[in-house]
């Protein structure tokens, strides 16, 4: 009989969480450890990664890792043992209309959100395929599906992340590696501080969701644990939207019925 009660457990597995210094990444690192994984907390800011690892305890360690540094990413894939689970969360946004974007701003967004993610998946995809197992989990966004003025570069990169992970699934599946993405809605993190500081903007985003509120970082953990565990052993190349219903309903106007 299948031990269903063990499907979500991660005992004996290692997880590398990039972006673990704050927000969703920190919550994911804590959540994976709670389900039994040994977690390597990685972040461009080593001090924040150390803080997350210290909060977790003996099941966690910390490393500095900047996804915009190609050499550092390749070195990490050589220096660290192949993880059973790889999670990558870092991204940035420059909110400007496309016609006002500078090349430097475009490079900044693309270099982290796409090139950084690509570098990480390229390097660790090799070692995970060589090990013959693993789950790779990337973070996209509702902006992969719906957009608004000022989201051009960010939305394009988040759509690209989904296709990157679909391709990873196709290429690495024969080697025992699964690849999926999680697409959050509006989450209270440092990335959304600009919105949170403006009450009307904050409220408008809350009202756009079916649940009429923002998410907390911890609410992203369930989807990641599922994708990391044997509970999703036949799931690859897909995206889980954790968005409070943002992409399910229009939400701009409630007509009379």
- Scored b (16 or more CB within 10 A) or e, 191-207 reads bbeebeeeeeebeebee
Sole residue written with tokens 């050589």: 78
The conformation of residue 216, written as its DSSP 8-state character, comes to P
Residue 58 is encoded by which pair of tokens?
Answer: 């003996």
**Catalytic member of 101, 154, 202, 205:** 154
Strand partners for 215: 187
Sole residue written with tokens 């540094």: 69
Is residue 202 annotated as a catalytic residue, yes or no?
no
Pick from 138, 124, 51: nearest CA to 91: 138
In the sheet that 177-184 helps form, which strands lie side by side, from edge to edge?
A: 60-64, 38-43, 14-18, 85-88, 134-139, 177-184, 239-242
In order, the DSSP letters of 37-64 are -EEEEEESSHHHHHHHHHHH-TTEEEEE
Sole residue written with tokens 């009379």: 256
Catalytic residues: 154
């Amino acid at each position: 009989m299948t031990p269903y009660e063990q499907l979500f457990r991660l005992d004996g597995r290692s997880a590398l969480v990039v972006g673990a210094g704050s927000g969703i990444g920190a919550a994911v690192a804590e959540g994976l450890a709670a389900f039994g994984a040994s977690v390597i907390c990685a972040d461009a800011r080593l001090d924040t990664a150390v803080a997350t690892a210290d909060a977790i305890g003996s099941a966690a360690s910390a490393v500095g890792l900047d996804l915009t540094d190609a050499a550092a990413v390749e070195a990490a894939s050589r220096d660290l043992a192949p993880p059973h689970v790889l999670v990558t969360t870092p991204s940035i946004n420059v909110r400007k209309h496309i016609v006002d974007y500078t090349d430097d701003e475009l490079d900044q967004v693309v270099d982290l959100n796409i090139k950084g993610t690509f570098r990480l998946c390229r390097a660790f995809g090799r070692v995970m395929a060589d090990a013959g197992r693993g789950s790779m989990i990337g973070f996209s966004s509702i902006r992969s599906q719906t957009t608004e003025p000022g989201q051009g570069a960010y939305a394009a990169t988040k759509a690209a992340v989904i296709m990157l992970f679909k391709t990873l699934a196709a290429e690495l599946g024969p080697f025992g590696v699964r690849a999926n993405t999680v697409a959050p809605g509006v989450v209270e993190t440092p990335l959304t501080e600009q919105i949170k500081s403006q009450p009307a903007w904050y409220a408008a985003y809350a009202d756009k969701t079916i649940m009429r509120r923002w998410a907390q970082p911890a609410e992203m953990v369930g989807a990641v644990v599922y994708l990391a565990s044997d509970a999703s052993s036949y799931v690859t190349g897909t995206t889980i939207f954790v968005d409070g219903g943002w992409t399910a309903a229009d939400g701009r106007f409630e007509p009379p019925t």
